[in-house]
A and B are shown apart, each in its own frame.
Chain A
Amino acid sequence: MLFRTWIVAGAVAAGLALAGTPPAVADIVIYNAQHESLTKAWIEAFTKETGIKATYRQGSDLELGNVIVQEGRNSPADVFLTENSPAMALVDNAGLLATIDAATLALVPAEFRAGTGRWVGIAARTTVFVYNKAKVPADKLPKSMLDLADAAWKGRWAAAHTGADFQAIVAALLELKGEAATAAWLNGMKANATKLGGNAAVMRAVNAGEFDGGIIYHYYYAQDQARTGEGSKNVALHYFKNGDPGAFVSVSGGGVLASSKNQQEAQAFVKWTLSKTGQDIMTKSALEYAVATGAPSHPALVPLNTLQAPKLDPAKLASKKVTEMMLAAGLI
């Protein structure tokens, strides 16, 4: 009876679909825009220590931030982790974040968390100019990130325009210098810079001598140096300092969704990322800067307090305006 075959085939397909998409056995769902390897390591250690199971959905900052805003009160997410603050601010402004436990907020200095108390920094990274040592002598380095829009830099540098990292840097620029200057800089960038798929690709291309330099975050270099050094042997990092937009320090955030039905577990996870173990895992493997008070950063890094970063409120960094301006400049 072939009719039965249809029923069986349908049932088999349904069974396979269930097998192919594992049911969430987890206690909390993390929407993760942080590096997958870091969050995986965090989850493993966290589950081992607390018994709370977690699963994650991988995406980029603003993709997941916008997803949460669209999902609204029915979001399946309990925790949101970002690499930069604009996406976190986006979700916070939509009124979708719960207040972080006071004990957790107390672990982090005020400059690394939202004034609203609804999200907290979990790590920090600084903007750098990575350059090829053979192609750019130290005295020819740009004094400011803004110089990279000059005609002298045409075709010589690269960035990962479409990544949330770079867009956070643009958000800082917008906050510091205003709309007109930012638009002008973006137009210069459109003319001068090559778009690559990610910060790692930018450093690799600069290392290979394809470009003189590129805008990235510091830890791509530090990670490569800590491993084989193969992908960074021809490059060095230039820190703009002087409160330059190019000295921007970006705060990675952790937040708990107001709609989460697992508030306790979700709060526990965010707090745990700031514990000694949590910060250690992050500083050792990801080499981002520690943000919990008293937690040491990796000794190979240039100390955060010597970088003369511009003073900015991470909760104020815009995302919608930035993507609008980058769309207008034809960068994305």
Chain B
Amino acid sequence: MGVIATPGGGTIPLPPGARHSASLRAAPRWLLLAAIVVTGAMLLPLGFVLWVAVQIGWSEIVTVLVRPRVGELLLNTAMLVSMAVPASVLVGVSLAWLTERTDLPGHTLWSALAAAPLAVPAFVHGYAWVTALPSFHGLVAAVMVSVLAYFPFVYLPVAAALRRLDPAQEDVAASLGLRPMQVLRRVVLPQLRLPVLGGALIIGLHMLAEYGLFALVRFDTFTTAIFDQFQSIFSAPAANMMAGVLVLLCLLLLMLEVSARGGGRYARLGSGSARQAARLRLPPLAKGAAVLVVLAVAILSLGVPLMTLARWLMLGGAEVWDLDAILPVLGQTLALAAAGAILTTMAAMPVAWLSVRGRGAKVRIIEASNYISGALPGIVVALALVTVTIRVARPLYQTAFTVLLAYVILFLPRALIALRASIAQAPPELENVAQSLGRSPFRALTEVTMRLAAPGAAAGAAMVFLAVTTELTATLILAPTGTRTLATTFWSLTTEIEYVRAAPFAFMMIALSLPLTWVLYHQSRRAAGR
């Protein structure tokens, strides 16, 4: 939910000279102001958690937080993240290496299949597993299903990086006497540190934020516990303080990732363009084993969800496609998602421009705050907005504005990453020339740079659109009375064990997500220059 989900995003580098050649003049005041307004809105949930903590005071915080249940949830969450993240990295990196660097038969097909599970929302993965194997529950189920749902977040950037690595270093290592496996371990893997860490961070944040999947496999995390408490006591100190702990966990993950990045150099030295790496010839036995591995992952991550869904759809027949009920839900989902995508992209513009062209600590702080807020789970954002609107901004309570604001807060980083990349590619000189020809700074910006950044804006908007169509917690809590989206309808049917009637909604979410997953996959390959 509220995380930076841009597989491959972290690995697409800015053109090396972009930052240095940027115009050094100060950012226009209105732009800075717009960026500050957006950042202010983004910081609302963090501010809310702090405000609640100050309001209820130290002794109450201790009573609410220092109890066995919180310890239990901490342990659960720690076990989940510490098992599922390394497992996802293992699966993602292995598949990337097999599909990019070995002569695995049909590697193009396998690499598309390794990206495809992203099109299935995590809670639909959960639904499929739980309905296929009713007794599949607890930690093992939670770890396994989240690995299957999330490993593409590691696969995509690692595969892209592998395609870009200069094989010269590997050749040198081999010439110095290392065997292929040693080259892999000592030369190739260390160079994958950034895409692995980036993917691992995205997965970790997803796991802290996910509600539906873990509720289905009956594994309590902070997010499910906060949601349970919300259902019993609405916005009360207990739930709000637990949200505070969840925020700390997210910040901890962000810090871990930053500190693990290290300061190594990853850009290649040497002139000319890098050669294409040769694919390692696997011995027949290893090749057979490799095919079995990729096949098993494809069956578990795609076969199980799709087969289960197909079974429910077949059981339901034509009867469950009650268009009078489905079409309004689909229409509302599309409208909300489109509105969310447009607004989020518009809000991301000033921040993205500043982060590319701007200078100084102020700009860095603005940029960092936006990424941090976007890492917060939907439940925290929803709790903050519902409490703030009900207490101090009543006219906005239960309005479309509030749920859209939640989408902006949750998904702005996705738009930001896409926009940044394309603004960085727009030469600042053009903007200067436009101004010297008499355009105002605002018009120069909108007519030159923004126009050139349009592809990035479109990519970012598409990513936000997709995120909104499968958003559950914030929509459940904040949407105006009478609003039903694909995700909320699917969820309410699933909790009533109406698995057959839920199937069409799961199907539509996957159908909407597929084209975008394909684009992401395509992009990650194009980024590799092929």
Give the interface of A toward B (CB within 8 A).
1-3, 5-6, 9-10, 12-14, 16-22, 24, 26, 29, 35-37, 55-60, 62-63, 66-67, 70-71, 74, 76, 162-164, 167, 194-198, 200-201, 204-205, 208, 210, 231, 323, 326-328, 330, 332
Contact = CB atoms under 8 A, between A and B. Distances in A.
B496 A62 contact: no
Given A12-B339, A164-B232, A197-B495, 16 more contacts: A2-B450, A9-B346, A10-B343, A12-B338, A20-B334, A20-B400, A20-B483, A21-B399, A55-B482, A56-B481, A57-B482, A62-B231, A62-B232, A197-B215, A323-B232, A330-B72
Nearest to B325: A40
A210 B135 contact: yes
B68 interface: yes
A13 B492 contact: no
Contact of B230 (A57, A58, A63, A205): A63
Contacts, number: 153
30 contacts: A3-B442, A5-B446, A6-B346, A10-B342, A12-B338, A12-B342, A13-B338, A16-B342, A17-B335, A17-B400, A22-B482, A26-B482, A57-B398, A57-B482, A60-B232, A62-B234, A63-B231, A70-B235, A71-B397, A164-B232, A194-B218, A195-B218, A200-B495, A201-B497, A208-B135, A231-B497, A326-B232, A327-B69, A332-B228, A332-B232
Interface string B332-367: 111110110011001000000000000000000000
Contact of A200 (B335, B442, B496): B496
Contacts of B328: 22
Nearest to B390: A70
B447 A1 contact: yes
Contacts of A20: 331-336, 339, 400, 483
Contacts of A58: 492
Closest A-B pairs by Cβ, 6 of them: A66-B234, A20-B335, A330-B69, A20-B336, A16-B339, A162-B228
B3 interface: no
Contacts of B331: 19-20
Contacts of A59: 231
B281 interface: no
B451 interface: yes
B134 A208 contact: yes
B233 A13 contact: no
B483 A22 contact: yes
Contacts of A36: 492, 496
Nearest to B457: A9
Nearest to A74: B394
Nearest to A331: B69
Contacts of A332: 225, 228-229, 232
Contact count band on B: 35 or more
B69 A17 contact: no
A276 to B, nearest CB: 27
Contacts of A24: 481-482
Nearest to A16: B339
A60 B231 contact: yes
B53 interface: no
Contacts of A18: 400
Given A210-B134, A330-B67, A197 B390 contact: no
Given A17-B404, A56-B481, A205-B134, A62 B342 contact: no
A34 B495 CA distance: 14
Given A197-B218, A205-B134, A323-B233, A328 B390 contact: no
B232 A204 contact: no
B279 interface: no
B contact patch SS: helix
A322 B329 CA distance: 37
B167 interface: no
A164 B228 CA distance: 11
A1 B444 CA distance: 11
A308 B413 CA distance: 59
Contacts of B234: 62-63, 66-67, 70
Contact of A62 (B134, B220, B233): B233
Nearest to B72: A330
Given A9-B346, A55-B481, A204 B335 contact: no
Contact of B390 (A62, A71, A196, A200): A71
A55 B484 CA distance: 12
Which residue, of A12, A70, A198, has the highest number of chain B Cβ atoms within 10 A?
A70
Contacts of A163: 231
A45 B342 CA distance: 40
Interface string B474-504: 0000011111000000001001110000000
Which residue, of A6, A10, A22, A210, has the highest number of chain B Cβ atoms within 10 A?
A22
A20 B335 CA distance: 5
B46 interface: no
Contacts of B68: 330
B236 interface: yes
Contacts of A210: 134-135
A13 B332 contact: no
B216 A197 contact: yes
B30 interface: no
Given A16-B335, A16-B339, A66-B233, A198 B496 contact: yes
A187 to B, nearest CB: 11
Contacts of B390: 67, 70-71
Contacts of A16: 335-336, 338-339, 342
A330 B73 CA distance: 10
B266 interface: no
A16 B404 CA distance: 11
B10 to A, nearest CB: 28
B196 to A, nearest CB: 34
A223 to B, nearest CB: 10
Contacts of A201: 495, 497
Contacts of B346: 6, 9-10, 13
A18 B399 CA distance: 10
Contacts of B343: 10, 13
A24 B446 CA distance: 38
A62 B233 CA distance: 6
Contact of A76 (B233, B404, B481): B481
A2 B447 contact: yes
A85 to B, nearest CB: 15
B522 interface: no
A29 B229 contact: no
Interface string B181-222: 000000000000000000000000000000000011010100
B446 A17 contact: no
A200 B404 contact: no
A131 to B, nearest CB: 18
Contact of A162 (B232, B398, B492): B232
A164 B346 CA distance: 42
A21 B232 contact: no
A17 B332 contact: no
Contacts of B231: 59-60, 62-63, 162-164
A198 B450 contact: no
Contacts of B69: 327, 330
Given A70-B235, A76-B398, A22 B67 contact: no
B291 interface: no
Contacts of B230: 63
Contacts of A37: 496
A81 B511 CA distance: 36
A70 B235 CA distance: 9
